[in-house]
């Protein structure tokens, strides 16, 4: 402590009494008075403009009590519809190229080099195949979805969504700015957790951190879009398939918002009691998006970065999957042991052992869930078929569906519950680490990690039980 600190503070206290109360207000008034004078001298406006009026009319519509939410859902459905309808063909082409042509070429090449079987397996059937899956499954939807989402962001739509949601957050005892941190989470939950710094109150900030995982991140959109397309979309007539699939993805996203609100309300009534604090949210002007910059930004800055991360994660995961499938304890592989062990619990939840193992392998990155599931399912099938040497080819959604239903024994319930579990499970390891870094609290990091999994188990168990009791499956 500096020797004279207390003297200074005493002087300050004495002078404070001298200058009188409400100094803060007087200072603020002085600033505003000066600002007003300066602006009066420097700015002149021509009232003929009706630009602002148009914008205000539009804002009233977008944020209105009646049209706000339907418009939001419509826009979101439109975005996913374009994504799903547009991604199918390029996905099939990429799959054909990477898992067909290049894969076969690599095997021929390896055979010519006389590479040992385990090296071929580890590198081609493990590392390469997992990477190829990630690219084929994720690149096309991301390359369509991200630019569309970025356009909405540039336009200034996101703060309007936050404005619409503010009422609900307040009712849940949470901070209205949590809607903005949730928007950030739709890109990446780790970024979403960091963005909670805009919330002043530690109580409300913790709520925002714990519930950020209910905002579906980049790594999970791909899973939802694919599973929605092949399990939900396929139940509808072909003309409506993409639309129905898009609706199912939107439904999961909305469910995420509902869980955010419910868990926020629960937390603010129990462990994190308190009143919601008020704040002012600024609605930015609508800005005409710069199409080329948006494309560049969303392809280079988002799509490729997310893809790069996915590939980095998929390569070692591919090796792990191959090793798990090819190292035997007794008569069966490690993968089979694990899957058989987890299968009863998985089936109880309307999932299966493969899915649960995939979610363990995919803790570092949600992006690799679907490729892991497919590789494990195929490896299981191969060992079941007693290594017949038959190459299973698969290059579009219909074939992925065949693998999952035919080989993996999936039903529509498995598809729906995988979508639910994709929403409700632990955050990825990067996000967990970020939560720890932001809170420096073991307790809250653990709660933020475990709570969503518990919810996922409960919800999946309920849907599975209801489906079974009502005889749907």
Partner 1 sequence: MTTQAKTISECGSCATSCNTAHLTKLGIKTGGWDYVVALAGNPNTGKSTIFNRLTGLHQHVGNWAGKTVTRAEGAFTLNEKKYKLVDLPGTYSLLSTSVDEEIARDFVLFGKPDVTIVVADATRLERNLNLVLQILEITDRAVVALNLIDEARRANLTIDERALARDLGVPVVPMSARRGEGVTELLNAVESVAEGKFPARAHRIKYADEKLEKAIETLAAELRAEFADLPNARWVALRLLEGDESIIKAVRLNQLGTVKEAGIFPSLVQIEAN
Interface with partner 1 in residues 292-351 (CB under 8 A): 297, 300-301
| Residue with Cβ nearer partner 1 (267 or 404) | 267
Residue from 72, 76, 139, 194 binding partner 1 (CB under 8 A): 194
How many whole angstroms separate alpha carbon 141 and alpha carbon 303? 10
Does the footprint of partner 1 cover residue 287 (CB under 8 A)?
Answer: yes
What is the pattern of x (binds partner 1, CB under 8 A) and - over residues 349-388? ----------------------------------------
The contact pattern for partner 1, residues 196-225, with x = CB under 8 A and - = no contact, is -xxxx-xx-xx-------------------
Task: Compute the distance between CA of residue 298 and CA of residue 91 in angstroms, rounded to an integer.
Answer: 19
Output 31 or 258, the one with its CB closest to partner 1: 31
List beta partners, residue 329.
Answer: 332
Distance CA 153, CA 141 (A): 18
Helices 157-171 and 238-269, packing angle to 10 deg: 50
Contact with partner 1 (CB under 8 A): which of 131, 426, 439, 449? 439
For position 57 contacting partner 1 by CB under 8 A, the verdict is no
Write the CA distances from 325 to 7, 125, 203, 321, 450, integer angstroms.
73, 11, 46, 6, 28
The CA-CA-CA angle for residues 213, 216, 218, to 5°, reads 115
The CA distance from 199 to 211, in Å, is: 14
Cα–Cα distance, 457 to 473 (Å, whole number)? 19
Nearer to partner 1, 279 or 345 (CB): 279
Does 104 participate in binding partner 1 (rule CB under 8 A)?
Answer: no
* Distance separating alpha carbons of residues 297 and 295, to the nearest angstrom: 5
Residue 68: which of 283, 220, 263 has the closest Cα? 283
DSSP output for 300-366: IIIIIHHHHHHHHHHHHHHHHHHHHHH-EETTEEHHHHHHHHHHHHHHHTTS-HHHHHHHHHTTT-G
Select the residue interacting with partner 1 from 1, 112, 390, 442 (CB under 8 A): 1
Kindly state whether residue 38 participates in binding partner 1, applying the rule CB under 8 A: yes
Number of residues engaging partner 1 in binding (CB under 8 A): 75
Q: Is 156 in the site for partner 1 (CB under 8 A)?
A: yes
Any contact of residue 285 with partner 1 (CB under 8 A)? Answer: yes
Which of 452, 455, 436 lies closest to 444, judged by CA? 436
Kindly tell me which of 176 and 371 has the beta carbon lying closer to partner 1: 176
Sign of CA dihedral 219, 221, 224, 228: negative
Q: What is the DSSP letter of 119?
A: H
Q: Applying CB under 8 A, which of residues 195, 268, 333, 352 lies at the interface with partner 1?
A: 195
Name the one range near partner 1 by CB under 8 A: 3-11, 102-110, 310-318, 328-336: 3-11
Tokens of 234: 């396929």
Any contact of residue 159 with partner 1 (CB under 8 A)?
yes
The stretch among 30-38, 66-74, 97-105, 464-472 that binds partner 1 (CB under 8 A) is 30-38
Q: Which is nearer to partner 1, 70 or 284 (CB)?
A: 284
Binding segment (CB under 8 A) for partner 1, from list 85-93, 191-199, 238-246, 453-461: 191-199
Report how far residue 27's alpha carbon sits from residue 236's, in angstroms, rounded to the nearest whole number. 65
**Contact (Cβ atoms closer than 8 angstroms) between residue 92 and residue 397:** yes
- Nearer to partner 1 (CB atom), residue 23 or residue 473: 23
Assigned token pair, 224: 């939802």
Residue 301 or 393 having the CB closest to partner 1: 301
> Applying CB under 8 A, which part among 64-72, 157-165, 339-347, 409-417 lies near partner 1?
157-165
Is residue 108 near partner 1 by the rule CB under 8 A?
A: no
Compare residues 99 and 439 and give the one whose CB is closer to partner 1: 439
In whole angstroms, how close is the CB of 196 to partner 1 at the nearest point?
A: 8
Candidates 25-33, 260-268, 367-375, 465-473: pick the segment binding partner 1 (CB under 8 A).
25-33
- Per CB under 8 A, does 236 bind partner 1? no
Is 453 near partner 1 (CB under 8 A)?
A: no
Give yes or no for residue 15 binding partner 1 (CB under 8 A).
Answer: yes
In whole angstroms, what is the distance from residue 421 CA to residue 456 CA?
Answer: 5
Q: How many CB atoms sit inside 10 A of residue 418's CB?
A: 26
- Interaction mask 393-432, partner 1, x per CB under 8 A: ----------------------------------------
- Cβ atoms of 182 and 164 closer than 8 Å: no
Residues paired with residue 328 on neighbouring β-strands, in sequence order: 333
Q: Cβ of residue 451: shortest distance to partner 1, in angstroms?
A: 17
Cβ at position 444, least distance to partner 1 in Å: 8
Are 388 and 325 spatial neighbours (Cβ–Cβ below 8 Å)?
no
């Amino acid at each position: 402590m500096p020797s004279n600190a207390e003297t200074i503070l005493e002087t300050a206290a004495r002078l404070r009494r001298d200058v009188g109360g409400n100094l803060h207000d007087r200072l603020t008034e002085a600033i505003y008075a000066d600002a007003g004078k300066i602006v009066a001298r420097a700015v002149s406006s021509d009232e003929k403009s009706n630009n602002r009026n148009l914008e205000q009319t539009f804002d009233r519509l977008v944020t209105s009590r009646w049209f706000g939410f339907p418009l939001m859902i419509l826009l979101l459905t439109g975005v996913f519809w374009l994504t799903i309808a547009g991604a199918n063909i390029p996905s099939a082409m990429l799959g054909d190229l990477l898992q067909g042509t290049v894969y076969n070429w690599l095997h021929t090449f390896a055979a010519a080099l006389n590479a040992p079987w385990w090296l071929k397996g580890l590198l081609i059937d493990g590392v390469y195949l997992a990477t190829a899956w990630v690219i084929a499954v994720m690149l096309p939807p991301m390359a369509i979805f991200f630019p569309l989402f970025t356009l909405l962001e540039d336009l200034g739509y996101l703060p309007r969504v936050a404005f619409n949601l503010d009422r609900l957050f307040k009712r849940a005892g949470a901070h209205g700015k949590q809607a903005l941190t949730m928007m950030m989470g739709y890109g990446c939950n780790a970024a979403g957790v960091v963005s909670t710094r805009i919330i002043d109150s530690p109580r409300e900030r913790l709520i925002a951190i714990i519930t950020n995982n209910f905002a579906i991140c980049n790594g999970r959109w791909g899973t939802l879009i694919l599973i929605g397309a092949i399990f939900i979309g396929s139940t509808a007539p072909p003309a409506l398939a993409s639309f129905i699939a898009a609706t199912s993805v939107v439904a999961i996203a909305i469910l995420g918002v509902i869980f955010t609100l419910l868990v926020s309300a629960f937390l603010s009534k129990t462990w994190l009691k308190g009143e919601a604090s008020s704040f002012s949210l600024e609605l930015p002007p609508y800005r005409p998006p710069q199409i080329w910059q948006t494309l560049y930004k969303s392809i280079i800055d988002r799509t490729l970065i997310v893809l790069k991360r996915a590939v980095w994660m998929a390569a070692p995961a591919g090796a792990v999957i191959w090793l798990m499938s090819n190292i035997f304890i007794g008569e069966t592989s490690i993968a089979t042991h694990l899957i058989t062990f987890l299968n009863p619990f998985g089936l109880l939840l309307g999932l299966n052992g493969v899915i649960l193992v995939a979610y363990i392998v995919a803790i570092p990155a949600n992006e690799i869930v679907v490729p892991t599931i497919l590789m494990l399912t195929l490896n299981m099938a191969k060992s079941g078929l007693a290594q017949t040497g038959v190459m299973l080819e698969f290059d579009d959604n219909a074939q992925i569906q065949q693998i999952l239903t035919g080989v993996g024994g999936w039903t529509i319930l498995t598809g729906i519950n995988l979508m639910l579990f994709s929403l409700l499970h632990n955050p990825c390891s990067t996000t967990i680490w970020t939560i720890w870094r932001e809170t420096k609290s073991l307790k809250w990091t653990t709660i933020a990690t475990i709570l969503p999994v518990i919810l996922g188990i409960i919800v999946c168990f309920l849907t599975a039980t209801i489906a079974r009791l009502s005889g749907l499956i």
